[in-house]
Chain A
Amino acid sequence: MSATPLQIQDAIRRARAARDFVQQHRRTEAVIEALAAAAKSWLPATSPWRAQAVERVPAASGFSPAMVHEAIDRIFGAITTESLAALLEREFGDRRVLDEFRPHGRGQARAMGVPVILHLLAGNVPPPAIHSILCGLLVRSGNVVRMSRRDPVFPRLFLESVQAADPDLSRCVELLEWPREETALTQAALARADAVIAHGDDSTIAALRRMSPPGAAFIGYGQKVSFAYVCREMMTAEQLPALAALAADDVSVYDQQGCLSPHVFYVEERGALGPRKFAAALAEAMAAFQARIPRGKLSVEEAAAVNTTRSGYEFRAASDRRVAVWSSQQPNDWVVIYEDNPSFEPSCLNRVVFVKPTDGEPRVLEGIARFASYISTVGVAPMSDRMQEFARQLAALGVHRVCPIGQMQRPPLWWFHDGKPNLMPLVRWTELG
């Protein structure tokens, strides 16, 4: 149900009041403890949050129940006192700057979460929503959250779990729903925000940025794409099955709908086994992943996109030896397309992935230069000296993250999401002396 302007105003007022209370009555340590306890309460098989999420998320998002279990293990397994402390430490050094004046550089300073953060969520995959709210709570800001139509469940249940751990803290978050098209409502919320975290496509982000108050910090997470790179030394009969399993994990988690999901695997030629063998092994691993965690339900448009992509390449594969297609028995559960053409090919998503041979990093760098600012993550195997050099070149192009294949969908809690600090833009500093 859509929120009314009055409800939005009330929510902002309540979030701000709860924030003032928590700023006074909680220290960072207590917030860390509460958030870690909330996350931990999701992990047991008997967790009530888990049970509800598994029951309710598939209907809204399409993900299979097994995918929801996997999401819970990944998201909440990664939120611990240690990782929360690491996130704070990475951005502030001394996390007690959030509680009092502390020596900071040459002077003394303290940081305080802004009164109201407006979160505008996208909802294609669950982690960014949880991460966004978590960051707002860590700095003890008031948080007004517009949830996505596709994921109204995870934020709500997460907040309930925070409430069980610390009711005062949970009152700093107000969850609302209103349609994206209702720009008047968005405008009303933006007008009172001190910081805005927006997820969505580039045009949405640009429009929201224009609508935001000039004084508010604006953190936009737009469209991104990811890919992976396999070095020839990995292409041996001994290493291939395990590598393919990691690769299938990176592709299949969240049905490839996240910005960390790889669209293409570039595989070096002249290994003991050729790139085509990687595609075959990946297909086998995709089938195994599908058996364990089935792909979710697709809309007819999404299914049509997968079908059209698959049948188009199947037609070519019949008479063009540079192309080969592997797909599931049920025709659209997953598709692996081998194509001897180095150009980057964006996938239609939902577990459709390209494998392309390459003669080395320079060719790949050349191919991605044009859209490098859109690249989130590059998975590599192995993380060798040569790949570290590759990472330096990717960094120069503006790529946000280089990690081992198998870790693409497991960014640490403290990573600079899309190359940006998570907490820094959410606080205001006071210098002393």
Chain B
Amino acid sequence: MNKTASQLQQRLLAFLGGAPDDFDALAREVFAFQFERNPAYRAFCESKKIAPNRLTHWTQIPAVPTRAFKEMTLTCFPPHEAVAEFHTSGTTQSHTGRHLFKTLALYDAGCVPQFRAHLFADGARMPIVSLVPDTPHSSLAHMCRTLGARFVERLEATNEPVCLLGTAFHFLTLFDNGLVLRLPAGSRVMETGGFKGRTREISKPALYEMFEKHLGIPPTRVVNEYGMTELSTQFYDETMRVGHRSDLKRSPPWARVRVIDPQTDEDAPVGATGLLRIYDLANLWSVMCIQTEDLGIRMGDGFVLLGRAPGAMPRGCSLNAEALQNA
């Protein structure tokens, strides 16, 4: 690692650790770094006539669509130096996307405080239990490991409060299989992900009611996490910080989320639905600005996640991509 890179990483680590810094200035430095070192990204920026010396604000940094991770390796270092790689689950596209990491230091530095701030704002201490399978290329599994979670295949009764981590689909499957436990007061849940491509879908409010019925955990102690393979930072709803169900998610100081009107490519008005565009400085070694395929709504100083925009809307008689794949 040369000096500039290590300085930048040190500065980011400090920022993630709580030191004050200027997001705009740092974002532009990270962009300049990535523009310099990632030829595919640089070519894309140049095609849009954007270069570091022409930027006046972080919002002008070009976003990389998530599907680009399926088609190429987007790194600012030689790929063979990667210490970890996370893969997308590939439920919606035939290819899987890969996110390579030169170091997990930034990922881990952001992961723990974000989780604590949203699930342990009350200062409680309890075991963390993961229902997410411990697989090598899953960013979610890595997150669970970083949080010190114990991986389990099934849930058992306990006298101590616990913090459960799992995907919405994991939990739904447990509930559908008839699991009923009365977990001690203070227990809490972090659930993540949707049901896309799964056989059964239910609404989030219906799922939250099931937590109460099957585990004795009230909806006010269930927190939704939004993370993705292509990012190094996670976003959580405010439920446990404010003490009532809230779908609002706020960014930590080192990230920003914009809601983009897909029709104009500009910011969607407050209250309108658009595509989430995420600026994540912890993505120093890949790309910091990601255009997701997830829809959300801008609310106050945060956003509400709605979930994955359907790949191709089946409208009447035209065959869509998914149906074609299954043909």
Q: Are B318 and A300 in contact (CB under 8 A)?
A: no
Smallest CB gap from A375: residue in B: B319
Q: Are A123 and B313 in contact (CB under 8 A)?
A: no
Q: Are A257 and B65 in contact (CB under 8 A)?
A: no
Q: Which of A148, A202, A257, A311 has the most CB of B within 10 A?
A: A311
Q: Which of B63, B71, B265, B324 has the most CB of A within 10 A?
A: B324
Q: Are B316 and A122 in contact (CB under 8 A)?
A: yes
Residues A314 and B44 in contact in the complex (CB < 8 Å), given A201-B323, A349-B315: yes
Residues A346 and B265 in contact in the complex (CB < 8 Å), given A300-B295, A314-B44: no
Q: Are A303 and B314 in contact (CB under 8 A)?
A: no
Among B10-18, B28-36, B172-180, B304-312, the one that faces the other chain is B304-312
B-contact 0/1 string along A283-301, CB 8 Å cutoff? 0000000000000001111
**Residues in B78-134 with C-beta less than 8 Å from chain A:** none
Residues A305 and B327 in contact in the complex (CB < 8 Å), given A300-B273, A332-B262: no
Chain A residues, Cβ within 8 Å of B313: 299, 301-302, 305, 348-349
B53 at the interface (CB under 8 A from A): no
How far apart are B314's CB and chain A's nearest CB, in angstroms? 6
Q: Are B319 and A308 in contact (CB under 8 A)?
A: no
Residues A370 and B262 in contact in the complex (CB < 8 Å), given A224-B317, A319-B39, A346-B320: no
Query: Complex: how many Å from CA A221 to CA B314?
Result: 14
Query: Complex: how many Å from CA A225 to CA B265?
Result: 29
Partner of A346 from B67, B261, B321 at Cβ < 8 Å = B321
Residues A308 and B316 in contact in the complex (CB < 8 Å), given A223-B323, A301-B295, A315-B65: no
Q: Are A312 and B295 in contact (CB under 8 A)?
A: no
Chain B residues, Cβ within 8 Å of A315: 40, 44, 64-65, 67-68
Smallest CB gap from A221: residue in B: B317
A207 at the interface (CB under 8 A from B): no
How far apart are B94's CB and chain A's nearest CB, in angstroms? 10
Chain A residues, Cβ within 8 Å of B317: 122, 124-125, 128, 199-201, 221-224, 258-259
Query: Complex: how many Å from CA A123 to CA B68?
Result: 35
Q: Are A301 and B309 in contact (CB under 8 A)?
A: yes
Query: Complex: how many Å from CA A258 to CA B312?
Result: 14
Q: Are A314 and B318 in contact (CB under 8 A)?
A: no
Q: Are B327 and A374 in contact (CB under 8 A)?
A: yes
A409 at the interface (CB under 8 A from B): no
How far apart are B39's CB and chain A's nearest CB, in angstroms? 7
Partner of A331 from B265, B275, B316 at Cβ < 8 Å = B265
Residues A305 and B47 in contact in the complex (CB < 8 Å), given A122-B317, A199-B317: no
B-contact 0/1 string along A181-220, CB 8 Å cutoff? 0000000000000000001111000000000000000000
Chain B residues, Cβ within 8 Å of A6: none
Smallest CB gap from B293: residue in A: A308
Q: Are A311 and B318 in contact (CB under 8 A)?
A: no
**Residues in B204-243 with C-beta less than 8 Å from chain A:** none
How far apart are B136's CB and chain A's nearest CB, in angstroms? 27
Chain A residues, Cβ within 8 Å of B39: 319
B270 at the interface (CB under 8 A from A): no
A-contact 0/1 string along B43-78, CB 8 Å cutoff? 110110000000000000001110110011000000
B274 at the interface (CB under 8 A from A): yes
Chain B residues, Cβ within 8 Å of A122: 316-317
Chain B residues, Cβ within 8 Å of A317: 47
B251 at the interface (CB under 8 A from A): no
B-contact 0/1 string along A246-271, CB 8 Å cutoff? 00000000001111010000000000
A318 at the interface (CB under 8 A from B): yes
A4 at the interface (CB under 8 A from B): no
Q: Are B65 and A311 in contact (CB under 8 A)?
A: yes
Chain B residues, Cβ within 8 Å of A124: 315-318
Q: Which of A312, A332, A373 has the most CB of B within 10 A?
A: A312
Q: Are B262 and A312 in contact (CB under 8 A)?
A: no
Query: Complex: how many Å from CA A330 to CA B262?
Result: 11
Partner of A225 from B275, B291, B315, B324 at Cβ < 8 Å = B324
Smallest CB gap from A303: residue in B: B262
B158 at the interface (CB under 8 A from A): no
Q: Are A348 and B68 in contact (CB under 8 A)?
A: no
Query: Complex: how many Å from CA A64 to CA B273?
Result: 22
Smallest CB gap from A373: residue in B: B327
Q: Are A308 and B309 in contact (CB under 8 A)?
A: yes
A118 at the interface (CB under 8 A from B): no
A316 at the interface (CB under 8 A from B): yes
Residues A319 and B43 in contact in the complex (CB < 8 Å), given A300-B274, A303-B262: yes
A304 at the interface (CB under 8 A from B): yes
How far apart are B47's CB and chain A's nearest CB, in angstroms? 4
Query: Complex: how many Å from CA A128 to CA B261?
Result: 33
Query: Complex: how many Å from CA A305 to CA B311?
Result: 6
Smallest CB gap from B44: residue in A: A318
Q: Are A331 and B44 in contact (CB under 8 A)?
A: no
A429 at the interface (CB under 8 A from B): no
How far apart are A335's CB and chain B's nearest CB, in angstroms? 12
Smallest CB gap from A122: residue in B: B316
Query: Complex: how many Å from CA A301 to CA B196?
Result: 15
Chain A residues, Cβ within 8 Å of B68: 312, 315-316
Q: Which of A300, A303, A315 has the most CB of B within 10 A?
A: A315
Q: Which of B68, B72, B319, B320 has the most CB of A within 10 A?
A: B319
Q: Are B309 and A305 in contact (CB under 8 A)?
A: yes
B263 at the interface (CB under 8 A from A): yes
Query: Complex: how many Å from CA A395 to CA B165?
Result: 54
Chain A residues, Cβ within 8 Å of B295: 300-301, 304
Chain B residues, Cβ within 8 Å of A199: 316-317
How far apart are B290's CB and chain A's nearest CB, in angstroms? 11
Which residues of B are interface residues toward A (Cβ below 8 A)? 39-40, 43-44, 46-47, 63-65, 67-68, 71-72, 260-265, 272-275, 291, 293, 295, 309-321, 323-324, 327
4 A-B pairs with the lowest CB-CB distances in the bound complex, closest first: A124-B316, A122-B316, A304-B309, A307-B262
Which residues of A are interface residues toward B (Cβ below 8 A)? 122-125, 128, 148, 199-202, 221-225, 256-259, 261, 298-308, 311-312, 314-319, 330-332, 344, 346-349, 370-371, 373-374
Could you list 25 A-B pairs, sorted by A, with CB under 8 Å? Answer: A124-B316, A148-B316, A224-B318, A258-B316, A303-B263, A305-B311, A305-B312, A305-B313, A307-B275, A308-B67, A308-B293, A312-B67, A315-B67, A316-B71, A316-B72, A317-B47, A318-B43, A319-B40, A319-B43, A331-B265, A346-B320, A347-B312, A371-B319, A373-B327, A374-B323
Known: A258-B317, A308-B291, A315-B68. 15 other contacts (CB 8 A): A123-B316, A124-B316, A200-B316, A202-B323, A223-B318, A223-B320, A224-B319, A256-B318, A257-B315, A258-B316, A300-B274, A300-B309, A312-B65, A316-B72, A319-B40
